[in-house]
Structure 1
Amino acid sequence: MGLTRSPARAFAAWLAVGTFTFTTAHAQVTTELVASGLQNPWGLAFIGEGRMLVTERPGRMRVVGADGRLGVPLLGLPSVEAGGQGGLLDVITDRDFHRNRILYFCYSEVAASGGGNSTAMASARLSSDSTRLDDVRVIFSQTPKVSSRLHFGCRIAQAGDGSLFLALGDRYSRMNDAQTLDNHHGKVVRVRATGGAHPDNPFVGRAGALPEIWSLGHRNPQGAAIGIDGRLWTSEHGPQGGDEINRPQAGKNHGWPVITFGENYGGGAIGEGITSKPGLEQPLHQWTPSIAPSGLAFIRSERYGKAWQGSLLAGSLKFRYLSRLVIEGDRVVREDKLLPDLNQRVRDVREGPDGFIYLLTDERNGQLLRLLPGR
């Protein structure tokens, strides 16, 4: 674990594994295989010297060396209830990781007593030898717990003040909970990095409302990123149609399940069968049919040319491509479908400290890929 090589040697190692080129109507990009042999990888974070942390849904977290070599699973993880869509899910490093070695991860947490499960988020310190997690502390636990293997959500983004946004699913069978404030189902929450509701949250002090809630009316968010504008952006799964890009804001209601561009599986309207209603937010972009978006990242570097700077990238689990969304102000004005022949479920999308985009593919033999501009 933690093996490093010079950039030139690491680059040669990647090339030895393989490169693949895909051409789209607007650009040519190339993927390089950084690592393989990951079982349903879900989240990706960068820890310096070309190394990365990767979570595997069955409940493992590994260091991927700069040479692509997989480390053994880290010690110190809490108990994870893996099954269905649940398991060990997202991971990010603290913005001062280079100094404090703190990271945050979320996972499916089983009830301490009784039955059910929910999404939890923990902080931890990566040991100096990168073999274990120390000082593991649960800083948020979704309530109530329910018996479900679906819709955990579980994407994390760190705001400029160090607080944490966590996007949470509606747990599928509890979709109507997304419209009430006495639970965390179908919500985006904002907590301090040490735990506890952020004091500026919109419902702090409101009777009957949980103070961690930032926004409501979400179904199953699977992507979260802080935008070029410094604000939170998310992607979420609709039912059958109506996958969305949103920019959750304090106290705003994004409508699920009152309004949606989707329909019940097998057909038929959901609720009133409407797509808009006063007081409910519209998505910035929606996909029908559903692409099952997962992972979200903005291109900040010039690695792919200035025309791509500011673009928003989202993975597609269903159609197995990478979506590039062109943003103008508050509008998505165009979508380019990249890697149409990848034939793997794109689970996570991240921009690395080197300015390149990295992808995780959600397969039993999942891959970590690096996206390069076409040559």
Structure 2
Amino acid sequence: MFRMSSLAAAPLLSALAFALPAEAETTVESSKGTTIAVAPVAEFNEPWAMTFLPDGSMLVTEKSGTLLHVAADGQEKTPVAGTPAVAYGGQGGLGDVVLHPNFAENRLVYLTFAEEGEGGQGAAVARARLAVDDGERPRLENVAVIWRQVPKVSGMGHYSHRIAFGPDGMMFVTSGERQKKTPAQAMDSNLGKIVRLHDDGAVPSDNPFQSDGEMARQFWTIGHRNMLGLAFDGGGQLWAHEMGPRGGDELNRIEKGANYGWPNVSNGENYDGSPIPDHATSDAYTKPEISWTPVIAPAGFVIYDGDLFADWKGDGLIGGLRSQALVHVAFEDGGQGGTATEVERFDMGQRVREVEQGPDGALFVLEDGPGGRLLKLTPASTAK
């Protein structure tokens, strides 16, 4: 029987004891006057994603390839053994970490990462069993790659590789177009797509592009650029945000079989200044619910369902890299599949890579880059 409490008992030799220098808890006021309390918890080297374990401790990925088990108070960080080798550089490295919906019974963990291969690099999804014995450090067992980007290409950008499990247990994975543009519309490449898979990587028979070739059988949607946030709302509706080129970041309602237009349409323009027809010019492509110009560079996404931020239940929180912000969006009918609008944003003063909800309803954000901090956010009136 796997005992999460034994993770905290791993020996000190395999743990990295950690304490932040004393930092005062601060408050941040949003663009519409909402105030939240911000408390530093821990610090990392290029953190990318996190998830909470049943006992309130965390798994945190660092882009260079380290998976860390982190105590709930942030005071102890233990490297997890058995993490796959990654292609580190540019936007590549270790990415998302997500628990299987039945983790308490099967102990399965999913990791995304960039890997080397013939032709260059590409994203991959690995599934493993998180195991620990009393007196030993946590480790991954039976690590198996269950999905890969095809083909591998040169360059180290636009991997995307975010994971979300749906209410029915299906796994959705964002696959960026790797800065190659045209594969997003191609049916013989899974770049620039959202794919839908069984939890073991098998392709479901009811995906929408069954008649478009073997590769296309895994696609749920096409025409994407670089999606770094993926989440289901309370009504089972899937939402994704993606980075536009120069302008035109998007929040999209994800619908089975839809084409979101990249690179044929965008509300931005190419980096060389050449124009791209915007979404209003064609009904062939699904338009974004929100489009941002200037860009926010969205990364990390959670749709809140806790009680601590009572007024935010059903709303989305998006991290901003270039905007250095936490962006609060509301759905028309409280996260049950309605249209979305931006409500407010909080100036965090640093690039925000990841946003997660904690077991007690607090929000947690990971700052990007070397020395990126894990911050706990609570309503200012309830901060301790």
TM-score calculated relative to the size of structure 1:
0.91
Q: Distance in 2 between matches of 1:70 and 1:181?
A: 46
After superposition, give the CA deviation of every residue in 1:152-175 in whole Å (9 maximum; x if it has no partner): 011100011212100011100x20
Residue in structure 2 matched with residue 10 of structure 1 by the alignment: none
Q: 2:7·2:132 contact (CA, 8 Å) conserved in 1?
A: no
Superposed, which structure 2 residues align to 1:242-257 within 5 Å?
242-257=248-263
Residue in structure 2 matched with residue 225 of structure 1 by the alignment: 231
After superposition, give the CA deviation of every residue in 1:314-349 in whole Å (9 maximum; x if it has no partner): 0000011100012104322332012x1x22111111
Change (3 A) 1:50 1:279: same
Q: Distance in 2 between matches of 1:371 and 1:2?
A: 25
Q: Distance in 2 between matches of 1:184 and 1:243?
A: 21
Superposed, which structure 2 residues align to 1:173-188 within 5 Å?
174-188=180-194
Query: Out of 15, 21, 34, which is 2:27 matched to?
Result: 21
Give the superposition deviation at 1:284: 0.7
Query: Out of 115, 132, 138, which is 2:119 matched to?
Result: 115
Aligned: 1:168 with 2:179: no
Superposed, which structure 2 residues align to 1:307-326 within 5 Å?
307-326=311-330
Residue in structure 2 matched with residue 102 of structure 1 by the alignment: 108
Q: 2:247·2:269 contact (CA, 8 Å) conserved in 1?
A: yes
Change (3 A) 1:131 1:17: farther
Change (3 A) 1:17 1:73: same
Residue in structure 1 matched with residue 90 of structure 2 by the alignment: 84
Q: Distance in 2 between matches of 1:17 and 1:127?
A: 34
Tell me the secondary structure at the aligned position of residue 71 of structure 1. strand
Change (3 A) 1:159 1:274: closer
Tell me the secondary structure at the aligned position of residue 66 of structure 1. coil
Q: Distance in 1 between matches of 2:39 and 2:205?
A: 44
Aligned: 1:32 with 2:39: yes
After superposition, give the CA deviation of every residue in 1:214-243 in whole Å (9 maximum; x if it has no partner): 100000000011112212111100001100
Q: Distance in 1 between matches of 2:236 and 2:51?
A: 19
Superposed, which structure 2 residues align to 1:52-91 within 5 Å?
52-91=58-97
Q: Distance in 2 between matches of 1:70 and 1:152?
A: 30
Q: 1:15·1:32 contact (CA, 8 Å) conserved in 2?
A: no
Query: Out of 267, 273, 282, which is 1:277 matched to?
Result: 282
Q: Distance in 2 between matches of 1:266 and 1:243?
A: 17
Query: Aligned residue pairs: how many?
Result: 359
Aligned: 1:295 with 2:296: no
Q: 1:97·1:103 contact (CA, 8 Å) conserved in 2?
A: yes
TM-score calculated relative to the size of structure 2:
0.89
Tell me the secondary structure at the aligned position of residue 34 of structure 1. strand
Structure 2 residue runs without a partner (length 5+)? 1-5, 10-18
Tell me the secondary structure at the aligned position of residue 2 of structure 1. helix
Give the residue type in structure 1 aligned to 2:130: L
Give the residue type in structure 2 aligned to 1:157: A
Give the superposition deviation at 1:115: 3.1
Give the superposition deviation at 1:198: 1.8
Give the superposition deviation at 1:136: 0.7
Superposed, which structure 2 residues align to 1:202-217 within 5 Å?
202-207=208-213, 209-217=215-223
Residue in structure 2 matched with residue 332 of structure 1 by the alignment: 340
Give the superposition deviation at 1:267: 2.1
Query: Out of 139, 153, 156, which is 2:160 matched to?
Result: 153
Structure 1 residue runs without a partner (length 5+)? 5-12
Give the superposition deviation at 1:288: 0.4
- Give the CA RMSD over aligned residues: 1.9
Q: Distance in 1 between matches of 2:274 and 2:139?
A: 49
Give the residue type in structure 1 aligned to 2:228: Q
Q: What is the percentage of aligned positions where both structures have the same residue? A: 38
Tell me the secondary structure at the aligned position of residue 101 of structure 2. coil
Give the superposition deviation at 1:77: 1.4
Give the residue type in structure 2 aligned to 1:84: G
Q: 1:170·1:220 contact (CA, 8 Å) conserved in 2?
A: yes
Give the superposition deviation at 1:189: 0.4
Give the residue type in structure 1 aligned to 2:316: L
Tell me the secondary structure at the aligned position of residue 221 of structure 1. strand
Q: Distance in 2 between matches of 1:61 and 1:275?
A: 43
Q: 1:190·1:201 contact (CA, 8 Å) conserved in 2?
A: yes
Q: Distance in 2 between matches of 1:157 and 1:69?
A: 28
Residue in structure 2 matched with residue 190 of structure 1 by the alignment: 196
